Structure 1
Amino acid sequence: MTIDFLLLLLLLGAVVGVLSGLLGIGGGALLVPALTAVFMAMELPSNKVVHLALGTSMACIILTSLSSFWAHHRRGSVRWPIVGYMVPGILVGTFAATFIAAQIPSLYLAIFFAVFMSYVAMGLFINKPAKAGANVGSPATLTLVGSGIGAISALVSIGGGTLTVPYLSARNIPITQAIGTSAACGFPIALAGTLGYVINGLASNDMMYTTGFVYWPAVALIAVTSFFSAPVGVKLAHTLSVTVLKKLFAVFVVFISLNMIRTVIGSA
């Protein structure tokens, strides 16, 4: 790995950390297309770069989400009862979906990602009348929702914030609490997703410095800066207005959707 790639991955980690704290995402939505491009430039096997990006992204999210949700917890913005009900479903859904993702062509994953993210963004731009009180659903509902969020997150290697934040926000959870709770949910998603991508890649990938579909040098470099930059995003999340946060989140998911399609088509 050259010094250029080393510096690029450190910078990528810093950006991902801020986004993780600011929007409650693990950063995978940015990491996957970025890592795909980096791995292609490093001339890693072209038939493995997307799945390596997916697995490496999940591993990066472990430390980033840990830093992010702890910073949110210190500010009292994590709804732990909600997290507790969602985690069992998240673990099962995420782990199981990695076995599906390993078999699906990258282009179809990207199309699914783009369509779903566009739907999410549209919902955030529509101002719905406020409802009285927050109703996130029963424990069984939250577990089921968690399994769906985990499964979709594994398919596109995201920390779940692009799904969890809109879900909680639509049920009248204050946006800062939705972001903090989402950040806490991102940690089990990352753990289960990393384990799944490691297992699925063991038989087909014998590259140096990798375990399964996880490329460890990239994980280490990104984790160094993302861990320390995540609290910066948390501070911004508690400073900006609710309206600004929602619009910023919507613009972000549209951008990553289009970028994901462009990256995957370019690598086909």
Structure 2
Amino acid sequence: MTVTYIVSGFAVGLLVGLTGVGGGSLMTPLLTLMFGVSPTVAVGTDLAFASATKTAGTLAHRVRGTVRWGIVRHLCYGALPAALVATFALKYFGALDKEIGQIIRYSIAGSVLLTVCALLFRSRMQAWVLAHPEKQLQGTKLAIVTVIVGALLGTLVTISSIGAGAVGATILVLLYPRLSPAEIAGTDIAYAVPLTAIAAAGHWYLGSINWELLATLLIGSVPGITLGSLAAKAVPEKFLRALLATTLTGIAAKMVF
């Protein structure tokens, strides 16, 4: 089983490197559906997995100067308190109970579908926002909405481990359409580091992290994401996004039915 986990980590890392989609959209459903890991443990383990991998990504973007720290700060104002509240809510309602596990399973499916929408419609949404500058928020209103978005993402990520990747990046594109793709990616990864770290710490407190599983996944994912990143330019982006969207839609349907 250890070899299977390593191979799975490699496959997810490869797809993340090729597409840029957050690993949670792939890893959490994979652990739940293929390996029978309980939804709560799958979420907790994936959050610890994400906090480790995103830290390295943030360091790289910081060196390149592609992190907008002001936006990161406003997102964290909302996301970090929300992650703490969501953790205590899971503790209160019993995170490892079967009923709560089923709710988390549905939240994972919903988050996967949000990721699919982000994959398919991000470019069109960005084009619409750029074509209607009067609809773009500015100043204090933009800052407040950013904090609210951070709170929503913080809750979503803590419960499902999904949302800080494609969904978060798509929202940033809509709120800050003039950021470059590298700045969107860098900012999205940077705010996700403290968010996933706090959410992972919360799941450690709940006892819902499998550390042995985490280690084996990391062994496979590091070379996978490296290879995927190097090969990304050689594979047509539209083909990858269509394939990934179809796969994720199937995963969401499987988790619900």
**TM-score, normalization by structure 2:** 0.76
Identity %: 25
Alpha carbon RMSD of aligned pairs, Å?
3.3
The 1:115–1:223 alpha-carbon spacing in structure 2 relative to 1, beyond 3 Å, is closer
Offset, 1:10: 1.8
Q: Which amino acid aligns with 2:81?
A: V
Q: Determine whether 1:65 maps to 2:54.
A: yes
The answer for the alignment partner of 1:95 in structure 2 is 84
Q: Is the 2:17–2:225 Cα contact (8 Å) retained in structure 1?
A: yes
| Separation (CA, whole Å) in 1 of partners of 2:226 and 2:61 | 8
What SS does the corresponding residue of 1:39 show, helix, strand or coil? coil
Show the counterpart of 2:102: 105
Pick from 154, 157, 173 the counterpart of residue 158 of structure 2: 154
Q: For structure 1, which segment, 160-169 or 127-136, has the greater mean C-alpha deviation from structure 2 after superposition?
A: 127-136
Structure 2: runs of 5 or more not aligned: none
Mapped contact 1:121–1:251 kept (Cα < 8 A): no
Q: Does 1:181 align with 2:181?
A: no
The amino acid across from 2:180 in the alignment is: P
Q: 1:222 aligns with which of 201, 217, 223?
A: 217
Query: Please, which moves more after superposition, 30-39 or 49-58?
Result: 30-39
User: In the alignment, does 2:171 pair up with 1:167?
Assistant: yes
Structure 1 residues 175, 223: CA separation in 2 closer, same or farther (over 3 Å shift)? same
- In the other structure, the counterpart of 2:248 is 256
Q: How does 1:179-258 map to 2 (within 5 A)?
A: 179-200=185-206, 212-233=207-228, 248-249=240-241, 252-253=244-245, 255-258=247-250
CA distance in 1, matches of 2:184, 2:16: 13
Candidates 8, 26, 30, aligned match of 2:4: 8
SS at match of 2:65: coil
Distance 2:114 2:31 in 1: 21
Deviations 1:41-81 (A, max 9, x none): xxx6xxxx121111111111111111222223333322222
> Per-residue deviation at 1:240?
8.0
Q: Are the aligned partners of 2:119 and 2:166 in contact in 1 as well (CA < 8 Å)? A: no
CA contact (8 A) 1:77 1:177 kept: yes
**In 1: Cα distance, 2:60 partner to 2:8 partner:** 20
Per-residue deviation, 1:38: 4.7
| Amino acid in the other structure paired with 2:148 | L
2:124 alignment counterpart: 126
Q: Distance in 1 between matches of 2:47 and 2:214?
A: 9
CA contact (8 A) 2:113 2:248 kept: no
**Alpha-carbon distance in structure 1 between the residues aligned to 2:60 and 2:226:** 6
- Distance change (3 Å), C-alpha of 1:33 and 1:104: closer
Q: Is there any run of 5+ residues in structure 1 with no aligned partner, and where?
A: 201-211
TM-score normalised to the size of structure 1? Answer: 0.73
Alpha-carbon contact 1:23-1:161 (below 8 Å) kept: no
Q: State the AA in 2 paired with 1:117.
A: T
Helix, strand or coil: the match of 2:130? coil
1:115 to partner: Cα distance: 4.3
1:167 positional shift: 1.1
2:30 corresponding residue in structure 1: 34
For 1:52 and 1:176, how far apart are their aligned partners in 2? Answer: 32
> Does the CA-based 8 Å contact 1:159-1:190 persist in structure 2?
no
Distance 1:31 1:136 in 2: 36
